[in-house]
Amino acid sequence: MDFSAFGILCVGDVMLDRFQHGEIERISPEAPVPVIRLRGLREMPGGAGNVACNIASLGGRATLVGIAGHDFAGDNLARLLASQPGVTGALVRSTRRPTICKTRFIAGRQQVVRADDESSEPLYPDEVAGLCRVIDAHLPGAHALILSDYGKGVLTQAVLAHAIGAARAAGIPIFVDPKSEDFSRYQGADCITPNAREFAAAARAPAGSAAEIAAAAPALLDQTGAQAILVTRSEKGMTLVERGGTVISVPARAREVFDVSGAGDTVIAALALAFASGRSLAQAMHIANAAAGVVVSKLGTATATSTEVMHELAAQREQAGGGAMPGLQTLDATQKLVTHWRGQGLEVGFTNGCFDILHPGHVSLLAFARSHCDRLVVALNTDGSVRRLKGPARPVNSLEQRAQVMAAIRFVDCVVGFAEDTPLEIITALMPDVLVKGADYAISEVVGADLVQAAGGRVILADLVAGQSTTGIISRAVVGQTNQHAEGG
């Protein structure tokens, strides 16, 4: 899935997303509110900026058009965009309005409060003219246009009409993430991507099922002249209604959800990229659905990589009974995943073992490990490595079989193999934030513990489940077979 040849022009409400992380230790003596002791700050482009970052993360190229103020937040936003490979910032800087900035205060993984800095004043004529000039300058060569409407005032009727008219004249497909209940504002767009609530408000009809969406969509298609409406339905997946009556729904894969914020940005980014690359809307919807499944399992404004999306697509095929579960990843692919997760501010955990016959003790270890990190990598001994450690009769299950089973465990985010007797080489390559082993080891005996600790990471020992071991299971099976033969003889 290579999108490197495709460029998308993103126009809309650009903002700076700030995440102030800390801990709640007490209640303020001044008022009955919690006091957060701040520990760190993350900043990233939000709104239409997150759409552009998702395009770049998926391997495409994005040009971002919007308005930012001449202020500290605007300078930070411009700096972040300049440092993002694959994103070209084309912001119109305003002296009359602040950069839209959303600051979220997070204790642990819980958002406590959000503070917004923005202007509700309409755009001035020179700001509208500036946006139109920048759109005209960057539209040639684009393979699709995304209009990201957060209702913050950038996508005025004049800006919408100019952008849509110019794109249609150039034969460039137009995708809209709407905010207004009046979809006629987006007249001339090719595909509109509301969530179920936005669709119901615009259609003035229920949208709880695919059938209800299919019944209400034709009127909105006629109102806008659009070729399709893609409705995102949270845990129910997505429903695509195309002009002519074609209705296709895809389910969401059951998974651990951390944060749904920004999922719509990921959907429209993946949809536009996949369509621009020659796929049908139905095919593009499957890719967008997988990308959304990736980002909702991340905390805060997030993006998805093409590797993560391919992994998720394989998992969705397995859930639908249509293909193999994603199993073994190469070390190179694993390193790319770990680098991306770290870029999202996520802690990466690591554990390893033969995991030959999966039993409750293994599951307990994996659950414990995942509870101490945001993403868990599990390294499996190859078959040759298992034979050297356990004897010629092992493993019972091949590496491919063990990897397939391991990848199906919901606590596991990536599975990789290693042929050596110890995982030292792979730990050195990944340098996890958290290294987990069973409590039958001392920390000083854990391979790679010194490296992880020297890099500022943690080494944690998990309690073992009594009476659970692969060797024990095999021994009991052998005894059972012996007894059966004796009784039969």
- Say yes or no: 217 and 333 in one domain: no
Q: What percent of the chain has a predicted confidence (pLDDT) above 70?
A: 88
198, 209, 200: which is closest to 236 by C-alpha?
209
Under 8 Å between Cβ of 307 and 341:
no
Under 8 Å between Cβ of 217 and 241:
yes
Residue 170 located in a structural domain? yes
Residue 482 located in a structural domain? no
Provide the CATH number for the domain around residue 432.
3.40.50.620
Question: How many structural domains are present in the chain?
Answer: 2
Residue 1 located in a structural domain? no
Name the catalytic one among 71, 149, 177, 265: 265
pLDDT 10s digits, 392-426: 888 888 898 888 888 878 788 899 999 999 999 99
Would you say residue 478 has pLDDT above 70?
Answer: no
- Written as six digits, the tokens of 129 are 């003219």
- Say yes or no: 168 and 45 in one domain: yes
Contacts of residue 390, Cβ cutoff 8 Å, sequence gap at least 6: 354, 356, 471
pLDDT 10s digits, 45-74: 999 999 999 999 899 999 999 999 999 999
Q: Which domain holds residue 433?
A: 328-475
Residue 484 located in a structural domain? no
- Say yes or no: 249 and 380 in one domain: no
Least confident of 51-60, 92-101, 240-249, 314-323: 314-323
Q: 255 or 82: which carries more pLDDT confidence?
A: 82
Q: What is the pTM of this model?
A: 0.66
Q: 465 or 417: which carries more pLDDT confidence?
A: 417
- Say yes or no: 179 and 88 in one domain: yes
Q: Which of 263, 284, 319 is the last residue of a domain?
A: 319
Residue 286 confidence (pLDDT) = 87
- The question of whether 421 is a catalytic residue gets the answer no
Q: Which of 319, 351, 381 is the last residue of a domain?
A: 319
Would you say residue 103 has pLDDT above 50?
Answer: yes
Provide the angle, in degrees to the nearest 10, between the axes of the packed helices 263-276 and 48-57.
50
Provide the CATH number for the domain around residue 265.
3.40.1190.20
